[in-house]
């Protein structure tokens, strides 16, 4: 089976994880610090903290904004469920908006179409890794959470995606461009927010008594600590951070392999009327190359035919407003609904060979020729 997703774990990742295991310090520790420093420097972020998943990073991001209870957060419908769950679980209401049918990204006009007096924030998602035109959205004056789960290597007008809005998140799950097995991270324009995030990710624990006792200050016993806020635990492990550290060093190489597949597909589908290729990044921007999402005529039959030929494709993602849970099934978001009928992610990952990609392209062309 040729899979739509995959990772490339090599001997260096294996050795880095083995070294953590040999050290017996497998939980949160030095490897996390090292990864955080390397990631911050590589992307040019003001501050960055690793957590145990991108989904939890989103939940943390919403918490960091301190929005009034029950207020509305605008979220594109064409995204992964965690974007909405983060809002809902933090005690707010996700209000789904449409996206551009070509870029598949949220636009300022989509935000304006569902802004209400209760709107307190906007979530933008760099879908597939294509940078969102974010400045016009920032100009609306609402806090912006930037989901860069697909965009770890993407840049927009000289800035790293994720680091442009008020708070930004990354995902390092098993199929992302940079994997830690499971993992995520959070950044913010104001570094004080990341200081707070460091407390929150450890059940909201602030100063530990150990630090005070070690410093010889106060009359605290070392097992006592201040609990600054109530929050859940989302600490990353040294195991995950060690793997992520090597993947970060290899990111350019991993992205190059994705780019070679992307360019092969672009060439193969040039002039094929039944397939609309994903857009390229704007001049001067860099695409994150997470998923090669085409819009295809007769999409369902194409996907089924590919599956019969051993090629696994998928739709990322079933529009959220169509899920009964959120009580918004009565709303019409025509572009998201159109993408729900036409969009299809083709295999793209760093272990996919060019021969396999050529087989995928030939199968797509064959479907329309037949
Ligand atoms: C757009 C988007 N946001 C957030 C996430 C959540 O990341 P994680 O899988 O690390 O929880 C994903 C995961 O697929 C995603 O695609």
271 CA distance to ligand 1 centroid (A)? 33
Residue owning the nearest CA to atom 3 of ligand 1: 149
Q: Is the peptide bond before 317 cis (omega within 30 degrees of 0)?
A: yes
54 CA distance to ligand 1 centroid (A)? 5
* Most informative mutation of 54, 162, 182, 184 for ligand 1 (most atoms within 8 A of CB): 54
Question: Residue 261 pLDDT more than 90?
Answer: yes
pLDDT in tens, 62-112: 999 999 999 999 999 999 999 999 999 999 999 999 999 999 999 999 999
Cβ–Cβ < 8 Å for 230, 46: no
8, two tokens: 């490339």
Average pLDDT over residues 203-213: 77
176 CA distance to ligand 1 centroid (A)? 9
In this structure, the chain runs to a length of 370
Distance CA 302, CA 230 (A): 49
Strands 144-147 and 119-125: parallel
Question: Residue 221 pLDDT more than 90?
Answer: no
Q: Where are the domains of the chain?
A: 11-249, 251-369
Question: Residue 285 pLDDT more than 90?
Answer: yes
Distance CA 256, CA 217 (A): 52
181 CA distance to ligand 1 centroid (A)? 13
160 CA distance to ligand 1 centroid (A)? 18
> Could you tell me where the beta strands, DSSP code E, fall in the chain?
48-51, 72-76, 93-97, 119-125, 144-147, 155-156, 159-160, 167-171, 184-188, 205-208, 225-227, 275-276, 292-296, 343-346
Distance CA 35, CA 366 (A): 45
Return the CATH number of the domain spanning residue range 11-249. 3.40.640.10
Q: Which residues contact 156 (CB under 8 A, 6 or more apart)?
A: 131, 132, 134, 164, 285
pLDDT in tens, 341-367: 999 999 999 999 999 999 999 999 999
Q: Does residue 53 line the site of ligand 1, with CB under 6 A?
A: yes
| Helix, strand, or coil (residue 290) | coil
Q: Does residue 125 line the site of ligand 1, with CB under 6 A?
A: yes
Q: Which residues contact 168 (CB under 8 A, 6 or more apart)?
A: 61, 145, 146, 147, 148, 161, 162, 186, 187, 188
Distance CA 237, CA 31 (A): 8
What's the confidence (pLDDT) of residue 265?
Answer: 98
Cβ–Cβ < 8 Å for 312, 3: yes
CATH top class, domain 251-369: alpha beta
* Most informative mutation of 80, 123, 349 for ligand 1 (most atoms within 8 A of CB): 80
292 CA distance to ligand 1 centroid (A)? 16
* Most informative mutation of 50, 81, 173, 180 for ligand 1 (most atoms within 8 A of CB): 173
Question: Residue 220 pLDDT more than 80?
Answer: no
């Amino acid at each position: 089976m040729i899979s739509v997703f995959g990772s490339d774990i090599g001997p260096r990742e294996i050795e880095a994880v083995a070294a953590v295991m040999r050290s017996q310090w497998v939980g949160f520790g030095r490897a996390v610090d090292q990864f955080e420093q390397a990631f911050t420097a590589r992307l040019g972020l003001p501050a960055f903290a690793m957590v145990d998943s991108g989904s939890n990073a989103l939940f943390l991001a919403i918490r960091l904004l301190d929005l009034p209870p029950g207020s509305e957060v605008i979220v594109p419908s064409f995204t992964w469920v965690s974007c909405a769950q983060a809002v809902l679980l933090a005690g707010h209401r996700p209000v789904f908006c449409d996206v551009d049918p070509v870029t598949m990204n949220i636009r300022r006009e989509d935000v304006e179409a569902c802004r209400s007096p209760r709107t307190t924030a906007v979530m933008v998602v760099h879908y597939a890794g294509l940078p969102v035109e974010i400045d016009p959205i920032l100009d609306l004056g609402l806090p912006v959470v930037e989901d860069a789960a697909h965009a770890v290597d993407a840049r927009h007008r000289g800035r790293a995606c994720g680091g442009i809005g008020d708070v930004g998140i990354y995902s390092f799950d098993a199929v992302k461009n940079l994997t830690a097995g499971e993992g995520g991270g959070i950044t913010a324009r104001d570094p004080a927010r990341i200081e707070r995030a460091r407390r929150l990710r450890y059940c909201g624990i602030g100063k530990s008594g150990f630090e005070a006792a070690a410093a010889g200050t106060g009359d605290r016993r070392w097992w006592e600590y201040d609990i600054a806020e109530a929050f859940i635990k989302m600490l990353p492990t040294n195991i995950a951070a060690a793997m992520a550290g090597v993947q970060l060093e290899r990111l350019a190489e991993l992205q190059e392999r994705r780019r070679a597949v992307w360019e092969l597909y672009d060439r193969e589908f040039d002039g094929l009327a039944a397939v609309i290729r994903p857009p390229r990044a704007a001049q001067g921007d860099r695409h994150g190359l997470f998923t090669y999402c085409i819009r295809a005529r007769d999409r369902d039959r194409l996907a089924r035919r590919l599956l019969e030929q051993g090629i696994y494709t998928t739709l990322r993602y079933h529009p959220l407003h169509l899920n009964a849970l959120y009580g918004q099934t009565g709303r019409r978001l025509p572009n998201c609904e159109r993408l729900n009928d036409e969009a299809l992610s083709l295999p793209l990952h760093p272990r996919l060979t060019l021969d396999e990609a050529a087989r995928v392209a030939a199968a797509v062309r064959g479907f329309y020729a037949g």
